[in-house]
Amino acid sequence: MSFRKWCGKQKFLFLFLFLRIEHANSKISDKSILNDGLDTGTPISKDEKMWTVDPTLCRHTTTCQEFSKQNPYVSFFCEGYIMWGPYAWFMIFITFPLIVLATILNYAFVLKNEALWLNVLTALIGIFTLILLCFTAFRDPGFIPRRPLCEDAPPNGYKGELDGEIWKWCATCNIWRPPTSKHCKQCDACVRMFDHHCPWTGNCVGQRNYNSFYSFIILLIIYIIVVIAEVLVIFRQKNDDFKESIFLFLVVFCGIVLFIVSVLFITLTCNISRGLTTNEILLDRYRYESSNFCENLTKHFRYFPSQIIFKNQNEEPIDSDDQL
Ligand SMILES: [Zn+2]
Ligand SMILES: [Zn+2]
């Protein structure tokens, strides 16, 4: 069995572990907006029910304040630099503290009285891991702002064609959704190049934070390997104050996390190598795949400016390209 096929089979395990942690209260009601006579395109044929797509209907920008009005589950702080999604609390109270807890135990019982360079090196890897986690969790993943409701809008899920690609109409956001995008029911918004909604970061993984998420996973694996190596090599030698419970906790906890994150890393890397998102593979909905890894990597890591901008009262809007 080839490595790629093996990875494909692991998608169900990955699905179980990460992507289908459903939230009972995730259904959010549709916030309809009054009709402003927006033109949505025209059907190509009544029989085929395919519409020509107006791509401008998903390229508009909106302000942080307006976006939060349309979607009260997403808030912005610090002049729009920090985005707070509906499940950011999970990252704040679960994911972040777990990494910090392992770090504190490692410093208190393993690295105490060890060489300075080892302490600094471990601290730097840990700090950059947490920074990348924050970049993923508090960054606009590529939300497409909603448009006002229009009279001649097609029903939800209606398909349209543009340049040979299939676009879908989102009746909640009143926009034509580009290929690979999806309406995330947890965030209640359409997300560009939707990969999955990650409960551990409390945010969607999409076009604008895929690079930081992938980098976070790589750095987290490196950090866990470093901690496990330090525990196994140094902690065992400290016979004077050896605490078996701390030793077991660090080894078992880090071992479990390393296994889960490694599966995630292999899955994401396989997805990139095929030029597909996790969502496309899970739903088995894609028209073609590419085996050019560098080209696929560029596509997944490509920078896309945020469509959500910050606007102070009586001030010109500040483009949020430089946001977290
Ligand atoms: Zn939508
Ligand atoms: Zn989401």
pLDDT tens sequence across 55-70: 777 788 888 888 988 8
Residue 46: pLDDT band by 50, 70, 90 thresholds? Answer: very low
Given pLDDT bands bounded at 50, 70 and 90, which one contains residue 291? Answer: confident
Least confident of 17-31, 189-203, 215-229: 17-31
Q: How far apart are CA 271 and CA 310, in angstroms?
A: 34
**Residue 157 is encoded by which pair of tokens?**
């899920």
CA of 173 to the centre of ligand 1 (A): 4
261-293 burial, b at 16+ Cβ within 10 Å, e below that, comes to: bebbeebbbbbbbbbbbbbbbbeeeeeeeeeee
Pairing of strands 175-177, 165-170: antiparallel
Confidence of residue 27 (pLDDT cuts 50, 70, 90): very low
Q: Which ligand is nearest to the CA of 187?
A: 2
Q: Which of 14-18, 174-178, 226-230 has the lowest mean pLDDT?
A: 14-18
CA of 193 to the centre of ligand 1 (A): 13
Residue 237: Cβ-neighbour burial (10 angstroms; 0-12, 13-18, 19+): exposed
CB 190 within 8 A of CB 175: yes
Distance CA 269, CA 275 (A): 10
Please answer whether residues 257 and 18 qualify as being in contact, where contact means their C-beta atoms are separated by less than 8 angstroms.
no
CA of 153 to the centre of ligand 2 (A): 24
Ligand 1 centroid–CA 241 distance in Å is 57
Handedness of CA 42, 286, 290, 267 (dihedral sign): positive
Residue 301 has pLDDT above 70, yes or no: yes
Task: Return the pLDDT at 56.
Answer: 75
For residue 216, the CA-to-ligand 2 centroid distance in Å is 18
Q: What is the mean pLDDT of the chain?
A: 79
Q: What pLDDT does 165 receive?
A: 80
Specify burial of residue 77 (Cβ count, 10 A radius: 0-12, 13-18, 19+).
exposed
Q: Which residue has the higher pLDDT, 3 or 193?
A: 193
DSSP bridge partners of 144: 190
Ligand nearest to the CA of 31: 1
Q: Confidence band (pLDDT; 50, 70, 90) for 7?
A: very low
Protein residues with C-beta less than 5 angstroms from the ion ligand 2:
184, 186-187, 197, 204
**pLDDT score recorded for residue 281:** 86
Ligand 1 (ion): residues with CB under 5 Å are: 170, 172-173, 183, 190
How far does residue 114's CA lie from ligand 2's centre (Å)?
43
Can you tell me the distance from the alpha carbon of 192 to that of 178, in angstroms, rounded to the nearest whole number? 7
With H, G, I as helix, E, B as strand and everything else as coil, classify residue 204.
strand
**Which ligand neighbours the alpha carbon of 144 most closely?**
1
Q: Provide the residue ranges of all domains of the chain, joining segments of one domain with +.
A: 3-19+28-304
When pLDDT is averaged across residues 292-313 and rounded to a whole number, the result is: 83
Q: Which ligand is nearest to the CA of 57?
A: 1
Dist. CA 183–CA 186, nearest whole Å: 9
Taking CB atoms within 8 Å and a gap of at least 24, the contacts of 285-291 are: 287/165, 287/166, 287/179
Write the DSSP symbol of residue 310.
B
Helical axes 244-274 vs 210-234, angle rounded to 10°: 150
Which of 23-37, 88-102, 156-170, 263-277 is least confident? Answer: 23-37
Q: Which residue has the tokens 């899970």?
A: 282
* 138 and 82 Cβ atoms separated by less than 8 Å: yes
pLDDT at 134: 95
**Residue 172 Cα to ligand 1 middle (Å):** 5
Centre of ligand 2 to C-alpha 136, Å, is 12
Q: Are 92 and 77 in contact (CB under 8 A)?
A: no
Cα 55 to middle of ligand 1, angstroms: 15
Distance 144 CA to ligand 1 centre (A): 8
At 242, the pLDDT band (50, 70, 90 cuts) reads low
With pLDDT > 90 as the criterion, what percentage of the chain qualifies?
A: 37
Q: DSSP state, 322?
A: G
Q: Which helix (H) or strand (E) holds 124?
A: helix 116-137
